[in-house]
Amino acid sequence: MTAEGTQGTKQMRIGWIGTGVMGHSMAGHLLDAGWPLTVYTRSKGKAEPLIARGAAWADSPAAVAAASDAVFSIVGYPADVEAVMLGPTGALGGLGAGGILCDMTTSSPELARRIAAEAAAKGCSSLDAPVTGGDVGAREATLSIFVGGDAAALAKLRPCFEAMGKRIMHCGGPGTGQQAKLANQIAVAGVMFSVCESMLFAQEAGLDVAEWLELVVPGAGGSTAMNTLGRRLLKRDYAPGFFIDHFIKDLGLCLEECRRMKLVLPGATLAEEFYRMMQARGHGQDGTQALIRCLAHLSGKEWRGQP
């Protein structure tokens, strides 16, 4: 896919804020597809590989927006989203009339609605478009993308989304993309207990866990997480496809929405507590699969893995 014709006869200029584990790959796909790209991240060194491939550097989110027709962001926490979008040097301040903001961070639905309202007041549009698929999905451009906001803005940015992912859902108005992603995170929380508890049980039962995994993955008990993170666990590989610190943030947002909706979800509440225990023990920068270490510790066991 190329960028030709994405904005009538004019080639759309893209801004990108945040080049971490996910953002670096996602921005790279847009660059590879031919869109002129301007980038900003707090640590310029993280953007150097993109700059070496042809991206331009800007020294603030506002400067990114001034050089762009549409600005994407994927940063860490809602406070970061608010700063890069609405802060004193935020993207909205530099965006021209008719421009589009698109935040792809997993963030607060309420904040997404506020960004959309402030963008509209300036004659701009805003989308909240968080993703699922992890670091592998970002690298391989197979992400699923949940989009909330204006349908016309989505139509303009759809070619960009298609360069980054395989499945795109328009969920509704502002904030609904975030709500859809939070529902996904609740599902992930349950799946991580499934993967870690079953593998720990298999180990303690004396089974060949690697062989057991091969039988379970294609069956009713299998899952994408079992197939990917389960295999990492065999090697005791706790490197993050998704940081525990960020998952705690997501689950906290889920529980905030539950309180607003007067909804009780015991599984999500329990998952948030367990991951906070992991964080307190210094594992916040591990991947979510490190949950198995906490579960083993509860029984005085150790996850040994299996080559």
In a domain, 307, yes or no: no
Among 142, 172, 202, the domain-final residue is 172
Q: What is the mean pLDDT of residues 238-256?
A: 94
Cβ distance 303 to 292 under 8 Å?
Answer: yes
The letter for the amino acid at 123 is: G
Do 36 and 94 contact (CB within 8 A), yes or no? no
Q: Which residue has the higher pLDDT, 220 or 11?
A: 220
187 and 92 co-located in one domain = no
What residue numbers bound the domain in which 70 lies? 6-172
For residue 219, what are its two tokens? 């069956």
102 lies in some domain: yes
Read off the pLDDT of each residue in 167-188 and give the average, rounded to a whole number.
98
Query: What proportion of the chain, given as a percentage, has pLDDT over 90?
Result: 93
Give the pLDDT of residue 273: 97
Q: Which residue, 152, 172, 192, sits at the end of a domain?
A: 172
- CATH number, domain of 187, equals 1.10.1040.10
Calpha distance 275→251 (Å, rounded): 9
pLDDT at 109: 97
**Which of 108, 139, 172 is the last residue before a domain boundary?**
172
Other C-beta atoms lying within 10 Å of the C-beta of residue 52: 8
Farthest CA pair distance, the chain? 65
What pLDDT score does 294 carry? 95
- Residue 87 φ/ψ, nearest 5 degrees: -70, 180
Q: 290 with 207, same domain?
A: yes
- Give yes or no: residues 19 and 93 share one domain: yes
Same domain, 15 and 156: yes
Note whether 30 and 166 are same-domain residues. yes
Asked if 42 and 154 sit in the same domain, the reply is yes
Q: State yes or no: pLDDT of 271 exceeds 50.
A: yes
Q: Are residues 159 and 26 in the same domain?
A: yes
Does 257 map to a domain?
yes
The residue-averaged pLDDT of 219-241 equals 94
Task: Indicate the number of domains in the chain.
Answer: 2
pLDDT surpasses 90 at 4: no
CA dihedral 61, 63, 64, 65 (to 10 degrees): 90
In tens, the pLDDT along 125-157 reads 999 999 998 888 999 999 999 999 999 999 999
Pairing verdict, β 56-57 and 143-149:
unpaired
User: How confident is the prediction for the chain on average, in pLDDT?
Assistant: 94
Arithmetic mean of pLDDT, 67-72: 98
Amino acid 184: pLDDT: 96
Task: Count CA atoms closer than 13 A to 236's CA, side-chain side.
Answer: 7
Do 193 and 260 sit in the same domain of this protein?
Answer: yes
Write out the catalytic residue numbers: 181
Q: Which of 114-118, 144-148, 179-183, 241-245 has the lowest mean pLDDT?
A: 241-245
Domain at 24, CATH number:
3.40.50.720
- The type of residue at 193 is F
| Structure confidence at residue 55 (pLDDT) | 97
**Tokens standing for residue 96:** 């021209």
Query: Residue 7: which pLDDT band, with cuts at 50, 70 and 90?
Result: very low
Please indicate, yes or no, if residue 305 is contained in any of the structural domains.
no
| Average pLDDT rounded to a whole number, residues 163-168 | 97
Q: Are residues 87 and 68 in the same domain?
A: yes
**Distance separating alpha carbons of residues 20 and 26, to the nearest angstrom:** 10
Indicate if the pLDDT at residue 112 is higher than 90.
Answer: yes
Res 10 pLDDT > 50: no
What number is the average pLDDT over the span 89-117? 97
Percent of the chain clearing pLDDT 70 (strictly above): 97
Q: Is the pLDDT of residue 244 over 80?
A: yes
Q: What is the mean pLDDT of residues 161-172?
A: 98
